[in-house]
Chains A and B, each alone.
Chain A
């Protein structure tokens, strides 16, 4: 019982921090202290949650003492728990970065309440086991992130925020329409309950529409191929601390929701859905990396790379084998750390070189050699060079795609990896290697508050890279739960209901095999 309460704190702590910070609206110093205490507590709580999940497997909790399908349930499987832990780490590091980056007028405009409100939304979205509740957390996240994005009220931010806001708002409305159709068809919105009910239902046009609306909505949130335009239009305008947390977390909530929906509710078993996902994954990778190639603003380059990297995660989902899902889970975690670190480094480069336009900066290798080293760690990790975390992430996903005989997808992934390296080398050449185009009038210093989080996140990247074994094992566990919906249902409804659902799912699969031809059966066998 006490263990299940671990689910509560990663959401309740940031809510309380945000609320208390808002109570001290005029006392900035008190807000800073409250915020920092909140971040430390949040990190501790999220680590505790992950340890509980590692120990006990999937855990679930009903709020308000209501029985499962009626009350809101929170469920933590290994993937969700790991994401919550990473959120805790990232919030803490960005909080430290913010000591210098967050200006007094941002603080007066409500930075701390908004920041913790956004963390609440992110953690809530990861942990909730109720589809409608997921919508609510999406909106919490959206409204607070809008506030954070526009916090300087500059022309660029207002422009970026309008684009970000309108397209994301449209995405959540699509999600809401999908929820309405799903509720009309099934009569429930509890995810575990849906996983129990849906395998027994025929795929009516209404359900298919709901599935596609979910895909479109999450595609907007995650920045998938045809719907990513808001992302490079807005992320580079935020302040550096905000940009880093956005780059790390917000799109990954969309990716997580896609995974949850298409592993638990609508299974990628038919060829149609798999084809759609494969196509989107490949196009996302390619467009992202080519979009980055022409840009000159560091964070715009990195924004386009978020898109191409999300293609890799979706590629894992599209292949739909346990190892592919494990690889994708590993990829998400690696990417959050690396991408946030690169956005923080963009801030450090700006502080050291005076501009985040690559054409106006340069010569940093001579003036800040250690910054160059710190940049290379996440940059090479993003491109997938051993022995860094990105190598293992790419290796797992591409290995899975070769095993499942998706050679085209694997080739695309490898080529995109090389192009990513090209982009990272472009930043390196322009910002560090090239002589500075303007004579620096004075020596610029990078504040210590910038270096600590960059070193912390770089160390995590190195650790995952050098001691990959436990992390891969953990990702395998996460993949196991994704493959086996009864593992998710059992903590909510009990083992019996889970077994029934399991029989229904496998029965459905066998039936589908009989109806389809023998070739499909062979693939099916290999998947199991």
Chain B
């Protein structure tokens, strides 16, 4: 049983790390979400899966039953799930906004911040390609295709 849990955690974390190595930012976010899930399983399993009795005081009793499950890892896991959910939601919203402004989700093409005051560029920043505005829609379409295939 222990091996099964360990294998599941390893699978989650492995997939998460693999996705994080991608240049496509959406995949990185998915990888982070998977890795978070791996961590949550690890917390849950750190509390040892022993008892199956829920850690709820039965109606009329004053104390928790002795064989009740450890409630602390459950609380920790729940907190981590909530936080992971909120951060993933935020990251997705950020990506949507970024895609609208930057026209790309390929990490190689995201250089707007890096170009500010860079010693490798002229003071005015990265020179804009002169033809760009004219064929904007076509270029954007091509770019997103490219991301889909090789990202």
Q: Which of A's residues lie within 8 Å of B, judged by CB?
A: 132, 135-136, 139, 142-143, 146-147, 150, 153-163, 165-166, 169-170, 173, 176-177, 179-181, 183-184, 189, 233-234, 236-237, 294-298, 300, 356-360
Chain A residues with Cβ below 8 Å from B95 are 162
**Cβ–Cβ < 8 Å partners of A136 in chain B:** 79, 83
Given A170-B32, A181-B46, the answer on whether A156 and B116 have CB atoms closer than 8 Å is yes
Name which residue of chain A comes closest to B17, CB basis: A170
Cβ A159 vs Cβ B83 within 8 A: no
A234 adjacent to B43 (CB under 8 Å):
no
- Does A237 lie within 8 Å of B118, measured CB to CB? no
Chain B interface SS verdict (over half): helix
Q: Which residues of A contact B114 (CB under 8 A)?
A: 159, 233
User: Is A237 in contact with B116, judged by CB distance below 8 angstroms?
Assistant: yes
Kindly supply a per-residue 1/0 record for chain B positions 7-22, scoring 1 wherever the CB is within 8 Å of any chain A CB and 0 otherwise.
0000000000000100
Determine the distance from Cα of A294 to Cα of B117 in the docked complex, in whole angstroms.
Answer: 10
Inter-chain residue pair count (beta carbon < 8 A): 127
Which residues of A lie under 8 Å from residue B86 when comparing CB positions? 139, 143
Number of interface residues of B (CB under 8 A): 41
Q: How far is the CA of A360 from the CA of B94 in the complex (A)?
A: 32
Within 8 A of A (CB), among B91-107: 91, 94-95, 97-98, 101-102
Known: A146-B90, A170-B20, A294-B119. A132 touches B113 (CB 8 A): no
Residues on B lying within 8 angstroms of A by beta carbon are 20, 25, 28-29, 32, 35-36, 38-40, 42-43, 45-48, 73, 76, 79-80, 83, 86-87, 90-91, 94-95, 97-98, 101-102, 110-114, 116-119, 123
Whether A150 contacts B94 by the Cβ 8 Å rule is: yes
Contact (A155, B90) CB under 8 Å given A162-B25, A296-B119: no
Residues from chain B with a CB closer than 8 A to the CB of A181 are 42, 46
Chain A neighbourhood of B29, CB < 8 A: 166
CB pairs A–B below 8 angstroms (19 shown): A147-B90, A158-B98, A158-B102, A159-B102, A159-B114, A162-B95, A166-B25, A169-B91, A170-B20, A170-B35, A176-B39, A176-B80, A180-B39, A183-B46, A237-B116, A294-B119, A295-B119, A300-B117, A356-B117
Given A162-B95, A170-B32, A173-B32: A156 and B112 within 8 A (CB)?
yes
Contact check, A158 vs B101: say whether CB atoms are below 8 A apart: yes
A176 engages B97 (CB within 8 Å) = no
> Is the Cβ of A173 less than 8 Å from the Cβ of B39?
yes
Find A165's partner among B40, B80, B91, B101 (CB 8 Å cutoff): B91
